[in-house]
A and B are shown apart, each in its own frame.
Chain A
């Protein structure tokens, strides 16, 4: 190991000091960039409306809040994020084909948000729904990741 033999007491101390200072600067810089991207975002509850407003088996766009509210045939609710899980473009629901299409890389998702066509590899995120006094509240700050769709993700009144 010739490169270990090259290290002398002096060069070791010199390198240690330079490393320590660089790490310190890097740490300060990264924390500077982190400002404003705190992990704990408080819930932002958006009131979508009364339960009766939504017909069963239909999908309602809330484009400014960036989700689609889907009422299933059995009366359950899902708030599906419009952010494509591939590279973050905004997906749109095509009534004609009954699926979500991403304009950027042609990923397609089913009504439940499951992947129909690659390149996306995971289902569309869901926003948590709480139902209070028959009103639907959607937490638009905390999208929930999921790989596949399953029944437990549906919210019932």
Chain B
């Protein structure tokens, strides 16, 4: 029994998630900001708090809301438990998003890391799906209407849309059946899928010989334990501490019990979907829900497979030019997106000006082209003025997409009030 091989097997296995020695550049905090590790830690915290919540929660139309208020009011530390789960979930969306941005801008998605970029996108999708399915479970007004809006968005997908929306809801309306299947996705299928995809994700990081470094010619190696392990423990413990403190101070929202007869004014999707909801105010749903997201997803998947890219793997923004391009693209997207939002809100009324044309053109194609053309002009401009190469143009496009989505998210969730009017 006392054979050394089995005695410390578990500790050794955990340590073997890392290689025995790592490049000293790769464990600088500013290399990765620890985002991937933080995301993994949040997953574990969500798993633990979620398991505990399952003992109280009742996934039925009658019981759901009452079980949540029972949890908050009667159970010892119940409110804290729910707050922890809620804020971990929200933070996981933010951290995963930042992680995607980090690997893109530090040029860490090319060559042997291609496949991992795809798994990363898949995990990002699973994270959002997990958060969204969890959003319905409290069965309050916030949850009910956010999910009503989101599932109705699906029905605008051509041909399969209506069937898909009915399939997701299990009926024409959000009802008890929807609650039950969301519960099982949230607590069963999605976490299981995430454990698998995360294992593959970690394994592919190891196969690519760890995270990228800015200067791959320098190979000063240090011992993982303690150099890296200590840093990880410090980050993990501080994060847990901050999360507990935050959860003690700020309660997760809980509105009145869901009432299908009355939509609150305004009704909003979860904040990470507010960019979509904002887009929908300006664009025909056929474009806002289907064409634009499909194009963007296809583009993101395609990025590491673009031919003729000369990626400076591990170098932030690829080059000095890339850095300038990123800044200018962000400024362009902030200014132009804001102008478009204000413009279509108050001045451009294409639907009224061209009554005889189908709405798919007046509310879809026209705004789409009005956004694409100046962006194309801007790309030509940076190619000429800043001497941007193919890689810099790619960085510019991604920056414009990300910034535009952020601007729409901020406008949608913070600047819109009653009746979804601007500055109301």
Q: Which of A42-50, A51-59, A85-93, A126-134 contacts B (4 or more CB under 8 A)?
A: A85-93
- Closest residue to A118 on the B side, CB-wise? B351
Given contacts A33-B181, A87-B149, A119-B285, contact A103 B263 (CB under 8 A): yes
**Which of B153, B171, B363 has a CB less than 8 Å from the CB of A118?**
B363
In the complex, how many angstroms separate the beta carbon of B234 from the nearest chain A beta carbon? 44
CA distance A84 to B280 in the complex (A): 14
**Which of A63, A87, A103, A121 has a CB less than 8 Å from the CB of B264?**
A103
Contact in complex: A37, B170 (CB < 8 Å)? yes
Interface residues on A, range: 20 to 34
**Which of A33, A64, A89, A119 has a CB less than 8 Å from the CB of B263?**
A89
Contact in complex: A104, B170 (CB < 8 Å)? no
**Which of B151, B168, B181, B262 has a CB less than 8 Å from the CB of A90?**
B262
CA distance A91 to B267 in the complex (A): 12
CA distance A89 to B277 in the complex (A): 13
Given contacts A88-B149, A103-B265, A104-B149, contact A33 B351 (CB under 8 A): no
- Closest residue to B421 on the A side, CB-wise? A106
**Which of A35, A66, A89 has a CB less than 8 Å from the CB of B149?**
A89
Q: Tell whether B260 is near chain A: CB-to-CB under 8 Å.
A: yes
Q: Tell whether A105 is near chain B: CB-to-CB under 8 Å.
A: yes
Q: Tell whether B152 is near chain A: CB-to-CB under 8 Å.
A: yes
Main secondary structure on B side of the interface with A: helix
Q: Tell whether A124 is near chain B: CB-to-CB under 8 Å.
A: no
- Closest residue to A64 on the B side, CB-wise? B261
Q: Tell whether A4 is near chain B: CB-to-CB under 8 Å.
A: no
In the complex, how many angstroms separate the beta carbon of A103 from the nearest chain B beta carbon? 4
Determine the chain A residues whose CB is within 8 A of the CB of B260 once the complex forms: 66, 90
Determine the chain A residues whose CB is within 8 A of the CB of B285 once the complex forms: 86, 119, 121
Contact flags (1/0) for B351-390 with A, using CB distance below 8 Å? 1000000010001000000000000000000000000000
**Which of A36, A87, A105 has a CB less than 8 Å from the CB of B177?**
A36
- Closest residue to A122 on the B side, CB-wise? B359
CA distance A102 to B418 in the complex (A): 11
In the complex, how many angstroms separate the beta carbon of A34 from the nearest chain B beta carbon? 6
- Closest residue to B166 on the A side, CB-wise? A37
Contact in complex: A88, B148 (CB < 8 Å)? yes
Contact flags (1/0) for A107-144 with B, using CB distance below 8 Å? 00000000000110100000000000000000000000
Q: Tell whether A101 is near chain B: CB-to-CB under 8 Å.
A: yes
Contact in complex: B284, A104 (CB < 8 Å)? no
Q: Tell whether A30 is near chain B: CB-to-CB under 8 Å.
A: yes
Contact in complex: B170, A105 (CB < 8 Å)? no
Determine the chain B residues whose CB is within 8 A of the CB of A37 once the complex forms: 166-167, 169-172, 177
Contact in complex: A90, B281 (CB < 8 Å)? no
CA distance A90 to B263 in the complex (A): 6
Q: Tell whether B226 is near chain A: CB-to-CB under 8 Å.
A: no
Determine the chain B residues whose CB is within 8 A of the CB of A66 once the complex forms: 260-261
Contact in complex: B149, A33 (CB < 8 Å)? no
In the complex, how many angstroms separate the beta carbon of A38 from the nearest chain B beta carbon? 9
Q: Tell whether B420 is near chain A: CB-to-CB under 8 Å.
A: yes
In the complex, how many angstroms separate the beta carbon of B278 from the nearest chain A beta carbon? 10
Contact in complex: A103, B419 (CB < 8 Å)? yes
Contact flags (1/0) for B271-300 with A, using CB distance below 8 Å? 000000100110011000000000000000
In the complex, how many angstroms separate the beta carbon of B55 from the nearest chain A beta carbon? 27
Q: Tell whether B132 is near chain A: CB-to-CB under 8 Å.
A: no
CA distance A89 to B265 in the complex (A): 10
Contact in complex: A89, B169 (CB < 8 Å)? no
Q: Tell whether B4 is near chain A: CB-to-CB under 8 Å.
A: no
**Which of A34, A36, A89 has a CB less than 8 Å from the CB of B267?**
A89
Contact flags (1/0) for A60-102 with B, using CB distance below 8 Å? 0001101000000000000000000011111000000000011
Q: Tell whether B145 is near chain A: CB-to-CB under 8 Å.
A: yes
Contact in complex: A105, B281 (CB < 8 Å)? yes
CA distance A88 to B148 in the complex (A): 6
Given contacts A89-B145, A104-B420, contact A63 B261 (CB under 8 A): yes
CA distance A106 to B267 in the complex (A): 10
Determine the chain A residues whose CB is within 8 A of the CB of B171 once the complex forms: 36-37
Contact flags (1/0) for B175-194 with A, using CB distance below 8 Å? 00100010000000000000
7 sampled A-B residue pairs with Cβ under 8 A: A34-B167, A37-B166, A87-B149, A89-B267, A90-B263, A104-B268, A119-B363
A positions within 8 Å CB-CB of B: 30, 33-37, 63-64, 66, 86-90, 101-106, 118-119, 121
Nearest 3 interchain pairs by C-beta: A103-B265, A88-B152, A89-B263
Interface contacts beyond A33-B168, A37-B167, A104-B420: sample of 4 additional A-B pairs, CB < 8 Å, sorted by A: A33-B181, A104-B266, A104-B267, A121-B285
